[in-house]
Amino acid sequence: MTFREVETLFHEFGHGLQHMLTTANVGDVAGINGVEWDAVELPSQFMENWCYDKETVYGFAKHYETGEPLPEEMFEKLNEQKTFAAGLMACRQLYFGMLDMELHSNFDPTAVENGGETIFDVQKRVASKYIPHTMPLDIDRFLCAFNHIFGGGYAAGYYSYKWAE
């Protein structure tokens, strides 16, 4: 597995723990159901931190053929990369969260017929504020595949990723 896949595994395991350890007997409020969006990503983000804990990593990070442990310098590089370009990543997450909010709170798809903004206009407007250094290209259709906010249950809730950090 790649390190990113390991992070994702720990992240999703955090969601799984939230469901498995619930003490609620009513499904509508068990697990992440009924949890405020401000807190829905907390367990998963918390679990990701174990990927940077030396004892945890050395408990599983071994060469698949030789069993040799991860070299110390590689572990240090993994820790260093976590904060590399952190400011750019923070801007990116803020952009996603604000774009999500803007589309679900203020965007009027019927206004397009009368010359109003398209979703791509909204995308560029929000991007100009949060990621002016990497503006979407005219051919960019990222929004068509942004499943979290359109098909993944995070409509107007994407901000919870950044909030949980």
Catalytic residue among 12, 68, 76, 165: 12
Q: How many Å apart are CA 118 and CA 24, to the nearest integer?
A: 43
DSSP 1: -
DSSP 124: H
Q: How many Å apart are CA 20 and CA 149, to the nearest integer?
A: 25
12 in active site: yes
Distances (CA, A) of 59 to 14, 51, 54, 154: 18, 11, 8, 34
CA neighbours within 13 Å on the CB side: how many for 124? 10
Catalytic residues: 12
